[in-house]
Amino acid sequence: MTAPVTQRHVDRLLRQQASLAQFGSYAFSEPQLSRILTEAARVCAEGLGVPFCKICRYRAAEDDLLIEAGWGWHEGVVGRVVSAANETSPQGRAYVTGQPVILGNLREANDVVLPAFYGQHGIISTIDVIIKSKEGDAYGVLEIDSPVQHTYDRHDIDFLTGFANVLAEAVATANRNDMLRRTVRLMEALVEEKDKLLAERAMMAEELKHRVRNNLQLIQAMLFTHMKIGGGEQEQASVRAISRRVMTLSEVYEQLLGTGLDRTIDLGEYMRSLCGRLPGLQGNGGGGIALACRAEPLLVDLDTVTALGMAVAEIVSNSFEHAFPDGIGTVSVVLVRSADGRDGVLTVADDGVGFVEKTGSKRHGVGLVRRLVQQVMGEVTRGEGPGTSWSLSFPLHAPPREPTPAVAP
């Protein structure tokens, strides 16, 4: 026969429901799992009118149940005391079977082994329920303890079971949030390390570019000094050719210093800078020969810039040396994008006396220019007079190519 429901009983049920709702709100807003567990122990103890409650966490490696949090216990119990995860303990029995375990009088329970702290606290009655979410393994066991013998009814078991279910979801959420926070911290550390490495790499790259640029300028200065000392015309011309090629490389690094770690350089800007320096490398400083440059912005890779720069320097120098017997004329360098946008076109032209290519030439002007342009998958064509016109076309997105042997001077 079911006992009549009294107003006192109704009030207790309402308090339990209210405490369960309040704990749910608290648990899903609190980031620290230890605080959630401690609050759960307090609310459970007060909801069932007992002085003690504990939450045991299952440890797979030890196959035991550690008291992770609690309420009302003396110092030294929480975080230290363990029970066997088998049917020899109330907690272990609930964990193994997955069913509530009620011991109304521990003095009469001869089939369980209890740690000493039960006697030290005068525990007589216990209820254990498993803490398990809908997915994954069980977290552990929730237990209430009383020094007074109690007769618990179905409503008490329902309250404790419902509380354990809410606690299980709160634990799962807290664990997921903790994993997310650790992942975010790891990602932040990786980003910080990446930024640090990039900064170090950028600094080393800048230092390397400065050193190379300075070394090229030093070599060029030494060549200028050598030209001032003297030597025959043929030797002077050879030294000027070497100096011109060193200068084109130096200009490449001048451009690199302004682009950080970019793998591309504005060929137009490079050509304008190169043309500004080329007249000074001629035997007579250029005299009455003008060098004009008009170049569109075109981003190309370092190899393309280097090869085209040396090719243009070679053609311009040949014009300065051979196209104007009277020392007066104009050389123009024009860089544009092709009509279809796929190629770049460099045109170097002069209004001089014209050019006649020597058959079989391998180590001078034309042969060198063609080898340089071939390195960047480009083509060289010579236009008809008056004067001399060279057109260097090259793909703006060249396919990968095999390494090319160094160009002979």
9-23, 115-129, 166-180 — most confident range = 115-129
Q: Confirm if 123 and 106 have CB atoms less than 8 A apart.
A: yes
pLDDT digits (tens, 9 = 90+) for 328-361: 999 999 999 999 989 999 999 999 888 766 554 4
Among residues of the chain, what percentage have pLDDT more than 90?
34
Here the tokens at position 93 are: 């029995």
What is the average per-residue pLDDT within 131-152? 88
pLDDT digits (tens, 9 = 90+) for 108-124: 888 888 888 899 999 99
Residue 363 pLDDT greater than 50, yes or no: no
pTM of the model: 0.49
Q: Which CATH superfamily is domain 264-409 in?
A: Histidine kinase-like ATPase, C-terminal domain (3.30.565.10)
Q: Where in the chain is the domain with CATH 3.30.565.10?
A: 264-409
Mean predicted lDDT score pLDDT of the chain: 82
Q: Which is it for the CA torsion 167, 173, 176, 180, positive or negative? A: negative
Q: Which CATH superfamily is domain 7-186 in?
A: GAF domain (3.30.450.40)
Q: Where in the chain is the domain with CATH 3.30.450.40?
A: 7-186
Can you give the pLDDT at residue 110? 80
127 or 155: whose pLDDT is higher?
127
The DSSP line for 109-175 is -TT----HHHHHHT--EEEEEEE--SSSS--EEEEEEESS-----HHHHHHHHHHHHHHHHHHHHHH
What is the average per-residue pLDDT within 266-287? 79
Among residues of the chain, what percentage have pLDDT more than 70?
77
pLDDT digits (tens, 9 = 90+) for 156-167: 888 899 889 989
- Where b means 16+ CB within 10 Å and e means fewer, 339-376 reads eeeebbbbbbbbbbbebeeeeeeeeebbbbbebbbebb
Amino acid at the residue 187: M
Residue 41 pLDDT greater than 80, yes or no: yes
403: Cα separation from own chain's centroid: 31
Reported as a pLDDT band with limits 50, 70 and 90, residue 135 is confident
Q: Rounded to an integer, what distance in angstroms lies between the CA atom of residue 297 and that of residue 281?
A: 25
Amino acid at the residue 235: E
Radius of gyration of the chain (CA): 44
Q: Rounded to an integer, what distance in angstroms lies between the CA atom of residue 340 and that of residue 220?
A: 40
Contacts for 240 with CB less than 8 Å, ≥ 6 apart: 227, 281, 282, 283, 317
Here the tokens at position 293 are: 């440059």
What does DSSP say about strands 388-395 and 343-350: parallel, antiparallel, or unpaired?
antiparallel
